[in-house]
Structure 1
Amino acid sequence: MASLSPSTFNKAVSSTPFSVKPAFINFFGGFHGGAIASIAEAVLVATARTVVVEDKELFLGELSISYLSSAPKNVV
């Protein structure tokens, strides 16, 4: 996966732009759902770490995503 750099990173709030590259495009020409879920989980963990101390275990439970439409490639 690509490296993610948050543009907004405060206590319990973060924003991370990501450019949809051809490697993340599915058969139908949209952003692959698995890539979206992986990015969402990485951002969730980083955001949760702003309110949970580093030496404490972190478990997010379940991640559920409803896909309303896909992002076309080369969009940020």
Structure 2
Amino acid sequence: MSAKRRRSQPKPVPFIMTGAIIGFLIFSVVSWLGPNRNEGFDINYDPGAALGYMSVMGLCLGALVGAAVAALFTYRK
């Protein structure tokens, strides 16, 4: 008798949280160290506001990538 051992499914929440944290860190660094895009446009953004917007965008995109990776790991043919 061949008893098939059932493989455990990965939990998606740690993948999503890890992706969100990595996205937050990457977009925060880009926000602080990126080039000054306001030159020549007469637009002045507060660096804190730019950091906030970029952080939220990084959180969302990172969570989306983490969810996609979790979905790929759970997919079976």
Q: As a proportion of its length, which structure holds more helix? A: 2
Q: As a proportion of its length, which structure holds more strand? A: 1
The structure with more radius of gyration:
2
**Alignment TM-score > 0.5, same fold:** no
Higher relative contact order (CA 8 A, sep 6+): 2
TM-score, scaled to structure 2: 0.43
TM-score, scaled to structure 1: 0.43
